[in-house]
Structure 1
């Protein structure tokens, strides 16, 4: 386990494997896992809305995104935390390691279909619409283009490796950054 204070962000589109990686990192290193998607889903439940309804609501109410982002930034003040969210890499500027996970949209649609027990075609349409809406919302709210990967230290196509392989790549990056197991002071 790295000593000191380590903050890692993991971002990616639906079905790219962000949650799996974050759970594996949290379990292996004993990190706290902060999940922007869970915060968003909890806020949707609080409003009595489906995820799709709340997504549309959030487009018209920028305070939703700002609250999710505020909670991510707050979590980054802690040590040994992995923060998962589409904008986590952008919001947590001082992160020690920023990771973007990607996979072709059909692969991601298959994963989402399995996870949500829906047809692949429906998953494809659902994530394509959501990504289009999110991209527009993030551009309008923050001027951030989620397709810009230039801020990330590590970009991984998860279609090429299973969850264990992705974890091993990230673990190797952490071990390379902190070969003596010392994450420094953050």
Structure 2
């Protein structure tokens, strides 16, 4: 089974995806980890590589191509990245979108990165807008279109354990043969 976990920064996707994979006995593949691998392969720190990615669209495209290839070639994986649900295309068995209000996400990021909530809020809002623009420009993806997801969860409403329990239950009762209302997702983007 290929499960994708997507969402904006601070939504809890990395923690949730890791715990979901462990609970279900699947491998967890993180877009952030692959980004750091790409940086290392090219001799950059993650911070340096992130700055370079703002000027060089090939970096995003290389990351997205790698994620798409993993989705096409592997099974028994929880694939986690902002675009995982889109990049996996029809290979995904179950797509999850995690989100929370910007102020909640900013608080989480501020705690994680030891910065002020206001700075985290400004940076997160700017990053989210920049990424949405790039995804629309590169691939014609509207990241606000949640119709491709099987389940969308506001992670501000429940603690991490409750979110995990919800997802495990949803995956366990999911019927892949029931196609009613299913939205096909093309994964043939120009990388």
* Aligned equivalent of 2:122: 125
- Give the distance between the partners of 1:139 and 1:59, measured in 2 at CA: 15
Count matched residues: 173
* Aligned equivalent of 2:74: 78
For 2:14, which of 19, 29, 50 is the aligned residue? 19
Contact kept, 8 Å, 2:24 with 2:168, in 1: the verdict is no
* Aligned equivalent of 1:60: 55
Cα offset, 1:129, TM superposition: 1.1
TM-score (norm 2): 0.84
- Give the distance between the partners of 2:133 and 2:45, measured in 1 at CA: 21
Cα offset, 1:42, TM superposition: 3.6
Quickly say closer, same or farther: Cα 1:47–1:137, change in 2 above 3 A: farther
Structure 2 residues not aligned, in runs of 5+: 177-191
Runs of 4 or more off by more than 6 Å in structure 1? Answer: none
Contact kept, 8 Å, 2:94 with 2:150, in 1: the verdict is yes
Cα offset, 1:105, TM superposition: 0.3
Structure 1 residues not aligned, in runs of 5+: 1-5, 180-186
Contact kept, 8 Å, 2:11 with 2:99, in 1: the verdict is yes
* Aligned equivalent of 1:101: 98
Contact kept, 8 Å, 2:3 with 2:77, in 1: the verdict is yes
For 1:39, which of 34, 44, 60 is the aligned residue? 34
Bigger relative contact order, structure 1 or 2, given CA contacts below 8 A and separation 6+? Answer: 1
Q: Does 1:9 align with 2:4?
A: yes
**CA RMSD across the alignment:** 1.8
Contact kept, 8 Å, 2:9 with 2:124, in 1: the verdict is yes
TM-score (norm 1): 0.86
- Give the distance between the partners of 2:133 and 2:49, measured in 1 at CA: 16
* Aligned equivalent of 1:89: 85
Contact kept, 8 Å, 1:59 with 1:137, in 2: the verdict is no
